[in-house]
Structure 1
Amino acid sequence: MNIFRKQPHRISRVRYLYSRAGFGATPAELEKASRKSLRKTVRQFFKDSEGITDLRVIEPDDFESKKQLKGMVRDGQLDREMLQERIRQNAEKVRELNLQWLDRMAAGQGALREKMALFWHGHFACQTQARNLVFLQQYVNTLRQHALGNFGDLLMAISKGPSMLQFLNNQQNRKNAPNENFAREVMELFTLGRGNYTEHDIKEAARAFTGWQFTPEGQFVFRERAHDEGEKTIFGKTGTFKGEDVMAMLLENRQTARFITAKIYRYFVADGPVNAPEIQKRVDGLADQFYKSNYNIAELMETIFTADWFYDAVNTGAHIKSPVELLAGLRHTLGVQFDQPEPQVFVQRTLGQLLFYPPNVAGWPGGKNWIDSSSLLFRMQLPDYVLKAADVKVRSKDEGDVNTQLLARKGNAKFRTTINWTDFEQAFSKTSDIELTDAIAITLLPFPLRSDQRILLENQLKPNQTRSERIHILTAALMSLPEYQLT
């Protein structure tokens, strides 16, 4: 039976789920999943994401110690050549970590965990200063380990990680000289959201976080001598609070549950504000569940993915793929492997989402911000670059960061790839030539083809082409449509 023709509505719903909960699906995955109930498919997503293997490009004990830095000093002067070489080596390792994570996203197995970790990467946005690889590796693996667990555990693990403590200057937060940066961002961006705290709360919380530091090896340490032991008044409560007490207060506040839930809703359901009465009521209900479950992330996500409203037509095509989602999805759907690593980093930079380099502590704004005149053109041409090895004549965005420039310093004129066309074609073995265009379209696009689009696509086909050639041409053409940028 040609399921792409017999059950297009079911295929569309499954494609939508795979694109939101993961990074898309192969035609074979869609066909298999469409034969099961939606609830069983959702549960399979969670089952497939139970296990986790850490990303690793450096051993955890291979840290950037003072001894190593001293080795770069000659005659009392820092050896600039040695420093530049160390920066170059670090940039290559950061690129390797980037591509390891992208490989996990594109693999399909455990896609929900990786998708959630990508969301948390934007929420707990962080750049490791000086590109300390141990800290960066620890940061991304913490995101992945806790991605579907308890939000309180994730909040604490990330906040006590060396990357965040360093990035938000808490290593310099000491009694008699408090630094408010860490306390402010924890409230504004990680838990409550802007406007749900006072400046006094921040000042007092900063005092509570004094002493939260880390060792050169990246281990969290509480330094009592640096901690302000005096009384603080935070959210109307007075006591000799420490950082853990502040975190407990934030989690006790229902506004944290609502702030996180609203952000998850915008990311996984529909871009844009959540203040419409119906949506606000829905988000409030989800937030209430999230709070009562003690911030169980997996339980919240399962409720979303199994809700009838999640599949409403108004949500279909309402999300613009981020650059990483676009690249990982294209790779997964067609089993694409790049012969060289540089093009994948080049794509991320050009489209404005380079893993481990968020623009600031607020992360990537997402939504319509992904699209501008230059990035849209590159997005539309990407299938030709990947599938046809067309010449790349676009330059990546210059972020002015020497590390990112080194990370993607080799812009190739062509993307050389290997594509698993065999499996992709096999999924359409029972599809007639007349049905082929629509059958491929339903696996790739959020909307049915319009008649004018179908004519335009089929005009690219020639009578003497083999069936494989027809599938290749149609697939590249469909991926070049604006609708492919949406889920």
Structure 2
Amino acid sequence: MVPEKLQMQHLAWRAGFGERYPVIADWTHKRRKQIVSKILIGPAKDETTPIRIIDQSDLPDYKKKKDLDADTRKMVQQMNTQGIKDLNVSWVNEMVRSTHPLREKMALFWHGHFACRTQNVLFNQQLLDVIRVNALGNFGDLLTAVSKTPAMLQFLNNQQNKKAHPNENFAREVMELFTMGRGNYTEQDIKEAARAFTGWAFDEEGNFVFREKTHDEGVKNVLGKQGNFNGDDVLKILLEKKATAHFITAKVYKFFVDEQTSDAEKINTLADKFYSSGYDIKELMRNIFMADWFYDSQLIGTHIKSPIELLVGFRRTIPVDFDREEVMISFQQVLGQTLFYPPNVAGWPGGRNWIDSSSLMYRMQLPSMILYEKDFNIQPKEITPEMGMGSYKTTQEVNEAAKKQYAKKIKGLIHWDDYLQDYKDVTRDDLAATIADTLLQNSKNVSRQILENYADITSREQFIKTVTIAVMSTPEYQLC
């Protein structure tokens, strides 16, 4: 039987980015149903506050962009590049400070599921808003809203999808990556669906528009159904297919439960309930977090933290404000997950792909680099200009900005006081074990004696700090 405290730590990491010692201690004495409901609902009167970096009025008139002179075009490009970096930093800060971490964790999942690259900061901002607002809502609503964003329509070339020359990119990815997955449709289904999505576009200000003149009004045959379908009709047909519920459930299971193996029986049961609920995401997560099997010892401490999970979890444990918050983007690049720059249309592969010899070493050095304000002397990995984006120059600008952090000292204001207060009631003899047990899902392999030997014993405060940094620098801290 897995101890309740460890069960709650497991829940805190999978449904968020970990919680500190007093929170786990509080949860341990309450019923699972009560804690899960609190995690799903979030704080009272919680509303998703949009992350706004820039407004339409801040940029030169996009309607005349083709007529802009070279200097103005360059300024617009720089504002977009900087805006996307600011959006990245702001979302990370929202994850760190959020009182509803499951919403941000769920949004992070959807950010990878609906993988998209655009160099327009307004489009990125809008897509992120749609994902965060619908993260725990209805999947059908989320799918429809995302499909109508200028970011996705532009990225998947649906602006070029017209009845005279249908473009199949959007229809293909909607079926293959967003809903049913491969093997559940034919090439003919894609061709017919593409005809249905003709006319779906956006105007100069990024508003969705349906252009009747470019829409194919003919009869289409999609997945065994026949009619004069439009894009909304196709999305409804896709949602009617149980394959969609299964595909989404399997991806959620991999992300939140087990990235190594998939349990067909559990996934099928969850998918059936998900389908019957009308694609209620919150209920799907409730069914996962309430299941006894979710707390099986075989699943605890087996998930390799993604770079964002690692960075956010670290900062939620020990609050730190960086002198230059953009250093967070350099951290992301070194670790291999830069928000708003997925590697391809399938998103980040996750799992063991996060770890190689250099990134593991860097992960283990990161706590001491930040908390001891050491030099940042690890070269960030370059983001590649993928997927025919035609954005090589902009991508290189992001890479150059990250390189500028190279060999600079990391300066941050570390708020130790709150963290030290967490352990005020723990006896000196129990400190090392309590810290290790709180920060790790599997602390058995971490020697308490070694922690004691290497800790600074000049004061209780220094002891807590040095033990914490030592524990965070272990391979075990990379898992949750």
Cα separation, partners in 2 of 1:24 and 1:60, compared to 1, 3 Å:
farther
* Matched residue, 2:241: 253
8 Å CA contact 1:87, 1:403 repeated in 2: no
CA distance in 2, matches of 1:188, 1:116: 21
* Matched residue, 1:362: 346
Cα separation, partners in 2 of 1:46 and 1:61, compared to 1, 3 Å:
farther
Which of 110, 115, 118 is the aligned partner of 2:108? 118
Shift of 1:420: 2.1
Shift of 1:353: 0.6
**Equivalent position amino acid for 2:470 in 1:** A
* Matched residue, 1:162: 150
Compare 237-246 and 62-71 and name the one that shifted more: 62-71
Compare 413-422 and 280-289 and name the one that shifted more: 413-422
Which of 48, 51, 54 is the aligned partner of 1:52? 48
- Where do residues 221-370 of structure 1 align in structure 2 (5 Å cutoff)? 221-274=209-262, 279-370=263-354
Compare 195-204 and 334-343 and name the one that shifted more: 334-343
CA distance in 1, matches of 2:3, 2:32: 12
Shift of 1:231: 1.3
Q: Deviations over 1:163-215 (max 9, x none)?
A: 00000000000012000000000000000001111001001110110000000
* Matched residue, 2:433: 438
CA distance in 1, matches of 2:398, 2:27: 40
* Matched residue, 2:460: 467
**Which stretches in structure 1 are left out of the alignment for 5+ residues?**
1-7, 74-78
TM-score (normalised: structure 2)? 0.94
TM-score (normalised: structure 1)? 0.92
* Matched residue, 2:193: 205
Which of 5, 16, 21 is the aligned partner of 1:22? 16
**Which stretches in structure 2 are left out of the alignment for 5+ residues?**
385-394
Give aligned pairs, total. Answer: 467
* Matched residue, 1:484: 477
Shift of 1:284: 0.5
Relative contact order, higher structure (CA 8 A, sep 6+): 1
Cα separation, partners in 2 of 1:419 and 1:28, compared to 1, 3 Å:
farther
Compare 220-229 and 399-408 and name the one that shifted more: 399-408
CA distance in 2, matches of 1:408, 1:151: 35
Q: Deviations over 1:259-285 (max 9, x none)?
A: 0001000000010241xxxx2111101
Shift of 1:52: 1.1
Shift of 1:337: 1.8
CA distance in 1, matches of 2:349, 2:176: 15
Q: Look up the SS of the partner of 1:175 in the other structure.
A: coil
CA distance in 2, matches of 1:422, 1:94: 33
User: What's the % identity of the aligned pairs?
Assistant: 48
Shift of 1:62: 5.0
8 Å CA contact 1:165, 1:182 repeated in 2: yes
CA distance in 2, matches of 1:31, 1:419: 24
Shift of 1:85: 3.4
Q: Look up the SS of the partner of 1:483 in the other structure.
A: helix
* Matched residue, 2:390: none
Q: Look up the SS of the partner of 1:23 in the other structure.
A: coil
Shift of 1:28: 2.2
Shift of 1:455: 2.5
CA distance in 2, matches of 1:471, 1:369: 33
8 Å CA contact 2:321, 2:413 repeated in 1: yes
**Equivalent position amino acid for 2:3 in 1:** H
Cα separation, partners in 2 of 1:462 and 1:144, compared to 1, 3 Å:
closer
CA distance in 2, matches of 1:272, 1:64: 48
CA distance in 2, matches of 1:362, 1:19: 24
Q: Look up the SS of the partner of 1:233 in the other structure.
A: strand
Cα separation, partners in 2 of 1:406 and 1:157, compared to 1, 3 Å:
farther
Q: Deviations over 1:222-260 (max 9, x none)?
A: 101101111111112221111111101100000000000
CA distance in 2, matches of 1:480, 1:14: 23
Which of 9, 26, 32 is the aligned partner of 2:26? 32
Cα separation, partners in 2 of 1:407 and 1:248, compared to 1, 3 Å:
farther
Q: Look up the SS of the partner of 2:454 in the other structure.
A: coil
2:357 pairs with 1:373:
yes
8 Å CA contact 1:336, 1:418 repeated in 2: yes
CA distance in 1, matches of 2:398, 2:181: 30
CA distance in 1, matches of 2:379, 2:73: 28
Shift of 1:416: 1.2
CA distance in 2, matches of 1:479, 1:321: 13
Cα separation, partners in 2 of 1:312 and 1:397, compared to 1, 3 Å:
same
8 Å CA contact 2:380, 2:403 repeated in 1: no
Cα separation, partners in 2 of 1:271 and 1:162, compared to 1, 3 Å:
same
CA distance in 2, matches of 1:295, 1:432: 48
Shift of 1:406: 5.2
* Matched residue, 1:9: 3
Shift of 1:26: 1.6
8 Å CA contact 2:81, 2:121 repeated in 1: no
8 Å CA contact 2:456, 2:462 repeated in 1: no
Q: Look up the SS of the partner of 1:263 in the other structure.
A: helix
